[in-house]
Structure 1
Amino acid sequence: MTPSSPSSVTAAERATSVCVPVGTTDWLAAPDAAMKRDAVAGLERGDVVLFPHLPFALSPAEAKLLDPAVVKEGTKTVKYDPDTGRVWGYAEGIDAAAMKSMMERYADHTRRLLGALTPYGSALKIGNTSFRPVEAQGRQQSKRHDDTRLHVDAFPSRPSHGQRIMRVFTNVHPGTKPRVWRVGEPFETVAQRFLPKIAAPFPGSAQLMKLVGITKSRRSPADHYMLQLHDRMKLDDGYQSIVPHQTVEFTPGQTWMVFTDQVSHAAMSGQHALEQTFTLEIDGMADPERAPVRVLERMKGRKLH
């Protein structure tokens, strides 16, 4: 993926540059060798793997949840933990059984899809599932929390120690509204731009943050630099206004997956999306040298996790 002047096209039209199209139309079908090859190569290269015709069908009860009023006041997503079955973030009075069913099925579908499509096996771990029924455009929030600003993902409270962050999304809008993303410059270009300005973590800070509960485990140097990259990208108004990017529209019924710790992205608009997070040990990758932590280590000249 190479930088270019800002432009706006559909996902299918942009497939030759930032999207790798994969032709499966069935979550549970066995992908062929070409699909597997293209998907893994695209993911690890830093592209968006697009399934142009892979909708997630909702039951009548689940379809009634396509309403921003289903989220608890002050939140923008409903979340589900596949390991515990816990669902939270929804408003009182909604059909909680339908909400859990929808998110449980989506977690299962994405897990099966990735299990069939990639060679990652046990190195790939499922994380939380999200339902995002609120319009992304126009929400009032701080720059650091504003996902309409280009960024790479990092977990502030859950250090990843160099593990990859992969996310699968599906646009479940009942009409024609696309989910609109911007995709920015390659990770190494982002790192070259911002890393020289980032100071090393203060000695003892990682242990202190764990002790006071800011983080759930000790933050590694890799976590420090990734979080700083995330924040500096979002907080830099000049960068946001001039950085080369491409705009991609994901229409209802489309599914896409991407390493969001590697791909600079911003969700500009759209309503009603499902998202599944996974983490991946870098040793499980086909080419671990493409991992962001490896890029940062080469630039810093030392191990960071």
Structure 2
Amino acid sequence: MSAARPVLTLADWRPHATPPSDTLIERLERGAVLLFPDLGFALNDEEQALLDPAWVDRGRKNVSLTPLDGHLNGISDPGARRIASQLLERYYRFSLNLLEQLFVAYRGNLHHPTTSLRLHAIANWSERSSWRKDDRRLHIDAFPSRPIHGDRILRVFSNINPDGQPRRWRLGSDFESLCRRYLSDQKGANPLHTWLLAQLKITKRRRSDYDHLMLRLHDRMKADERLQEEPANTVDFPAGSTWICFSDQAAHAVSAGQFMLEQTVLLPVTAMQDPQRSPLAVLERLKGRRLA
């Protein structure tokens, strides 16, 4: 990711506009964040009533939906569950339509969708979290319980704050630099350990060496106080805006904001325009062996 211009702002793009050129995919795959400042996701009156952290089950970070089976987590009230399911299903359709319009090459390859509604103020939630779960600390995304074996983590975010408050991110160094900084001495996963985690259902399947290294990178970044204090690019995502990035590649931290929708999908490396820009390819070059 270019340190000088980590965010590409697309102020004039609208849904159903002429499909963008391949240069947009190129910027995304290089690690840029694509910002659509005027592309909001509107809530109806019934959905607006959900914008209260009190609705979220105690100890839960967010309300989440797996759209393919309709399974909802994080909210118990029956009436609120119905409204939350409706809202998250709408956002899933909005996000998938947006991704398929923007990135024609990815059509048919986006899988394992998860849709989330984040209601807590970032400071209030993070103060109750361990350092590993504190999203105010610079990190790349990796899944502890859901090994992905090199697939990309592609995310769509929308700021739905009703009071006009922006969501503020800090954006860090490019992915390869971070790998060289934190993983030069890191070996692969212990096969017995990964087998045991899968047998005990702590992970949904066995972790690959790729998953192991990505989790180590995530943890080492968050634990490094020097990194957290280094200068970083700061960007405010305004209320009523939407942004997209590969969150397994763009080093980011959330320093302010409340009320956000988030869509996560996985993309196979083979579906990328340039697979050599994937974290998997970068790590395999640095390690000199296959990792997934």
**Partner residue, 2:213:** 225
**Partner residue, 1:127:** 113
User: May I ask how many residue pairs the two structures share in their alignment?
Assistant: 289
Shift of 1:204: 2.3
Cα deviation, 1:167-193, whole Å, max 9, x if unaligned, reads 100000011111011110000010010
Pick one of 250, 271, 276 that aligns with 1:289.
276
**Partner residue, 2:285:** 298
1:22–1:39 Cα contact (<8 Å) kept: no
Pick one of 242, 247, 254 that aligns with 1:255.
242
**Partner residue, 1:240:** 228
Aligned identity (percent) is 42
One-letter amino acid matched to 2:285:
R
One-letter amino acid matched to 1:155:
F
Pick one of 39, 52, 56 that aligns with 2:37.
52
Q: TM-score, normalised by structure 1?
A: 0.91
Cα deviation, 1:105-151, whole Å, max 9, x if unaligned, reads 00011011111111112222142101001100243211111111000
State the distance in 1 between where 2:161 and 2:37 align: 15
Pairing 1:41-190 to 2, within 5 Å after superposition:
41-92=26-77, 94-118=79-103, 119-138=105-124, 139-190=127-178
One-letter amino acid matched to 2:163:
G
Cα deviation, 1:43-66, whole Å, max 9, x if unaligned, reads 101000111100101111001111
State the distance in 2 between where 1:266 and 1:171 align: 15
**Partner residue, 1:276:** 263
1:70–1:94 Cα contact (<8 Å) kept: no
State the distance in 1 between where 2:78 and 2:205 align: 36
Cα RMSD, aligned residues only: 1.5
State the distance in 2 between where 1:98 and 1:38 align: 38
SS of aligned partner of 2:35: strand
State the distance in 1 between where 2:32 and 2:261 align: 20
1:171–1:252 Cα contact (<8 Å) kept: yes
**Partner residue, 1:22:** 10
State the distance in 2 between where 1:125 and 1:293 align: 18
Q: Return 5+ residue gaps in structure 2 as ranges.
A: none
One-letter amino acid matched to 2:216:
Q
Shift of 1:39: 2.8
SS of aligned partner of 1:283: helix
Shift of 1:2: 3.8
**Larger mean Cα displacement after TM superposition, 89-98 or 69-78:** 89-98
1:20–1:39 Cα contact (<8 Å) kept: no
Shift of 1:212: 1.4
1:51–1:254 Cα contact (<8 Å) kept: yes
SS of aligned partner of 1:84: coil
State the distance in 2 between where 1:25 and 1:109 align: 15
One-letter amino acid matched to 1:83:
L
Q: TM-score, normalised by structure 2?
A: 0.94
SS of aligned partner of 1:95: helix
Shift of 1:205: 2.0
Ranges of 4+ aligned residues in structure 1 off by more than 3 Å? 1-4, 23-26
Shift of 1:36: 4.2
State the distance in 1 between where 2:63 and 2:82 align: 13
Shift of 1:68: 1.1
One-letter amino acid matched to 1:73:
R
State the distance in 1 between where 2:176 and 2:137 align: 18
SS of aligned partner of 1:20: strand
One-letter amino acid matched to 2:253:
A
One-letter amino acid matched to 1:67:
D
94 and 241 in structure 1: CA distance in 2 versus 1, 3 angstrom threshold: farther
Cα deviation, 1:44-101, whole Å, max 9, x if unaligned, reads 0100011110010111100111111111111120001101112110143652221111
State the distance in 2 between where 1:255 and 1:126 align: 21
State the distance in 2 between where 1:200 and 1:82 align: 34
2:31–2:249 Cα contact (<8 Å) kept: yes
